[in-house]
């Protein structure tokens, strides 16, 4: 069994923007729990679980996280994320960038890339998934990072398509260190979201680590499949594809093939 994160959570409150933490040995989904937090509690709040019995991913998919996975949700007051409605998808992109920065700060030897809209990949295998949801005037950011959990015991599909830090690096993987680093980078990225400074532009910084740029990809958006050469993302977070009929902007969807 991996050591519990429970003993490290005071340091999380002391060293990050999180004001309150809830820890569970086992829970259905940290996102579901985060959505149900009382209306009057302090924010940002953090919900951490050692295990989830009903972890959720995008598009109604389930999320597998074995013993040692880093599984948590951060709850923010929607008003503290200064974005107009047509740019809300930037929260998920900013989260991906924050998690990437944190992971490469702690483990610089790992080449982490971003897959639109919000996966982290290493060698085309999924290291981390992000699920951002809005509920009751709050933004819930759910993060599942394969950290101390070896995928050698994972279901076959996860083993084929996923990857975990512990299987990649020679050094010790410490979820508490990663959690603090992610929260610090997340706070910084959220604060930068409203910035008009050209150097802060998320689309430029995100596109620099995009796993899809320069590749032909197929993206399913509702009932439509669009295939094209990926040119990164634009300032509202849309994926840019050069297709047979010109440049298309995909505002939401799932990349099906690469
Ligand atoms: C995806 O890749 O589709 C997103 C996966 C998000 C998984 C995390 S684990 C912590 C949080 N709680 C959930 O139920 N889901 C997110």
Contact yes or no for 149/67 (Cβ under 8 A): yes
**Contacts of residue 224, Cβ cutoff 8 Å, sequence gap at least 6:** none
Ligand 1 atom at minimal distance to the Cα of residue 56? 14
Give the integer Cα–Cα distance in Å for 192 and 57.
26
Give the integer Cα–Cα distance in Å for 33 and 48.
10
Mean pLDDT taken over the chain: 94
Contact yes or no for 82/196 (Cβ under 8 A): no
Starting at the edge strand that comes first in sequence, how are the strands of the sheet with 45-52 ordered? 20-27, 45-52, 70-77, 138-145, 125-135, 119-122, 113-115
Contact yes or no for 14/185 (Cβ under 8 A): no
Ligand 1 atom at minimal distance to the Cα of residue 58? 3
Residues 207-243 have pLDDT tens digits of: 999 999 999 999 999 889 999 999 999 999 999 999 9
Ligand 1 centre from 60 Cα, in Å? 10
Contact yes or no for 50/24 (Cβ under 8 A): yes
pLDDT of 258 strictly over 70: no
What H or E segment, with its residue span, contains residue 205?
helix 202-207
208 burial (CB, 10 Å; 0-12 / 13-18 / 19+) is exposed
Ligand 1 centre from 196 Cα, in Å? 30
Contact yes or no for 72/80 (Cβ under 8 A): no
Looking at ligand 1, which residue's alpha carbon is closest to its atom 3? 57
Which residue has better confidence, 136 or 95?
Answer: 95
Provide the pLDDT for residue 84.
Answer: 81
Residues 4-40 have pLDDT tens digits of: 999 999 999 999 999 999 999 999 999 999 999 988 8
End-to-end CA distance of the chain: 36
Ligand 1 centre from 170 Cα, in Å? 26
Within 6 Å (CB) of ligand 1, which residues are found? 29-31, 52, 55-58, 61, 63, 65, 71-73, 119, 129-131, 142-144
Give the integer Cα–Cα distance in Å for 134 and 155.
30
pLDDT of 149 strictly over 70: yes
Contact yes or no for 164/127 (Cβ under 8 A): yes
Strand positions, DSSP E, 28-69: 45-52
Mutational pocket test of ligand 1: of 27, 37, 55, the residue with most ligand atoms within 8 Å of the beta carbon? 55
For the question of whether the overall pTM of this predicted structure is more than 0.85, the answer is yes
**Contacts of residue 58, Cβ cutoff 8 Å, sequence gap at least 6:** 118, 129, 131, 254
Ligand 1 centre from 247 Cα, in Å? 31
Average pLDDT over residues 135-142: 94
217 - beta bridge partners?
Answer: 228
Provide the pLDDT for residue 110.
Answer: 98
Residues 85-95 have pLDDT tens digits of: 888 889 999 99
What is each CA distance from 61 to 56, 64, 131, in whole angstroms? 6, 10, 11
**Structural tokens at position 128:** 């981390």
Provide the pLDDT for residue 85.
Answer: 82
Least confidently predicted of 81-85, 135-139, 160-164: 81-85
Give the percent of the chain with pLDDT over 90: 81
Provide the pLDDT for residue 257.
Answer: 63
pLDDT of 205 strictly over 60: yes
pLDDT band at residue 197 under the 50/70/90 scheme: confident
Phi and psi at 123, nearest 5°, equal: 50, 45
Ligand 1 centre from 67 Cα, in Å? 15
Provide the pLDDT for residue 196.
Answer: 67
Provide the pLDDT for residue 144.
Answer: 98
pLDDT of 179 strictly over 70: yes
């Amino acid at each position: 069994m991996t050591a519990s994160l429970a003993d490290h959570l005071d340091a999380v409150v002391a060293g990050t923007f999180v004001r309150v933490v809830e820890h569970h040995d086992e829970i259905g989904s940290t996102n579901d729990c985060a959505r149900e937090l009382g209306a009057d509690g302090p924010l940002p709040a953090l919900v951490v679980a050692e295990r989830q019995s009903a972890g959720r991913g995008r598009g109604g998919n389930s999320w597998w996280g074995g013993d040692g996975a880093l599984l948590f949700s951060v709850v923010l007051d929607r008003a503290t994320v200064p974005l107009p409605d047509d740019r809300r998808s930037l929260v998920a992109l900013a989260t991906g960038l924050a998690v990437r920065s944190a992971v490469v700060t702690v483990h610089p030897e790992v080449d982490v890339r971003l897959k639109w809209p919000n996966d982290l990949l290493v060698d085309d295998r999924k290291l981390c998934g992000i699920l951002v949801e809005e509920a009751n005037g709050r933004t819930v950011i759910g993060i599942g990072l394969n950290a101390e959990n070896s995928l050698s015991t994972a279901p076959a599909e996860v083993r084929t398509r996923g990857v975990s830090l512990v299987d990649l690096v020679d050094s010790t993987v410490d979820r508490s260190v990663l959690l603090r680093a992610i929260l610090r980078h997340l706070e910084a990225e959220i604060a930068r979201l409203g910035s008009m400074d050209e150097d802060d532009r998320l689309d430029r910084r995100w596109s620099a680590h995009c796993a899809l740029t320069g590749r032909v990809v197929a993206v399913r958006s509702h009932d439509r499949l669009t295939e094209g050469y990926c040119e990164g993302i634009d300032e509202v977070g849309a994926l840019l594809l050069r297709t047979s009929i010109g440049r298309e902007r995909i505002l939401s969807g799932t990349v099906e093939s690469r």
